[in-house]
Amino acid sequence: MALLNILHHPDPRLRTKAKPVVEFSAPLAKLADDMLETMYAAPGIGLAATQVNVHRRLIVVDVSENNDNPYVLVNPKLELFGNKVAADEGCLSVPGVYERVERAESINVTAQDVNGEPLAFSADGLLAICIQHECDHLEGKLFVDYLSSLKRNRINKKLRQLAVSDNS
Ligand code: GNR
Ligand code: NI
């Protein structure tokens, strides 16, 4: 087990489109374990491989109260349906920023597990929001992309200043 470093916006590596996972072997299982440990430690309710600078299609999610319901989704595909719902979102790659984002209320998910076995389920509520947020990361998309340019520019300025003070 190991904690992984999380990239922070506006790091250009967060804009990378992830490639499919094709090899289901021990290093993938280790990455999934390390991502779960990193997510719980943060603490967060989801983490995409992109955020730890691994550009493969793998996300982990756990929206349970007691951190006892982890999902590891490899090569996830989403079908969105239902109404749009607006909820406040945050992101471990955009620290300190919480803004309202509209998402589909419900999703059908197909994916593979860490062994390559197919899985399928439906979700709504926070789980559906979080899985949509994580799948966006795999496309190089961040929740701030949905905000007005005024808000986004303010966030970019604030985070660039944070990054500068980290390095000095
Ligand atoms: O921890 C997280 N909380 C959260 C809250 C509302 C909507 C999405 C999220 S995901 C976020 C962790 C993260 O950045 N995952 O990519
Ligand atoms: Ni995020």
Q: How far is the CA of 34 from the centre of ligand 2 (A)?
A: 16
Nearest ligand to residue 132 Cα: 1
- Whether residue 72 is contained in a domain is answered as yes
Residue 68 lies in a domain: yes
- Residue 113 lies inside a defined structural domain of this protein: yes
Determine the distance separating the centroid of ligand 2 and the alpha carbon of 119, expressed in angstroms.
23
Residues 54-65 as b/e (b if ≥16 CB within 10 A, e otherwise) read bebbbbbbbbee
Question: Which one-letter amino acid corresponds to residue 43?
Answer: P
Residue 32 is assigned to a structural domain of this protein: yes
Q: What confidence tier does 163 reach under pLDDT thresholds 50, 70, 90?
A: confident
Domain with 162, as residue range(s), is 12-167
Q: Is residue 26 part of a domain?
A: yes
Residues with C-beta atoms within 5 A of ion ligand 2: 91
For 122-158, write each residue's pLDDT tens digit.
Answer: 999 999 999 999 999 999 999 999 999 999 999 999 9
Residue 3 domain-assigned (yes or no): no
Query: For residues 84 and 105, is the Cβ–Cβ distance under 8 A?
Result: yes
For the CA of 101, the closest atom of ligand 1 is: 7
**Is residue 55 in some structural domain?**
yes
Q: Which residue has 């190991």 as its token pair?
A: 2
Tell me how many domains the chain contains: 1
Residue 65 falls within a domain, yes or no? yes
Distance CA 36, CA 79 (A): 25
Answer yes or no: is pLDDT of 9 > 90.
yes
**Annotated catalytic, 139?**
no
Q: What stretch of H or E contains 34?
A: helix 26-41
Verify whether ligand 1 is closer than 6 Å to residue 59 (CB atom).
no
Which residue of the set 65, 99, 105, 134 is catalytic?
A: 134
- Give the CATH number of the domain where residue 149 resides: 3.90.45.10
Q: What's the average model confidence in pLDDT over 44-73?
A: 98
Instruction: Report the distance separating Cα 81 and Cα 108, nearest Å.
Output: 8
Helix (H, G, I), strand (E, B) or coil at 54: coil
Atom of ligand 1 nearest to the CA of 133: 8
pTM of the model: 0.97
How far apart (Å, rounded) are the C-alpha atoms in residues 60 and 48?
6
pLDDT in tens, 101-126: 999 999 999 999 999 999 999 999 99
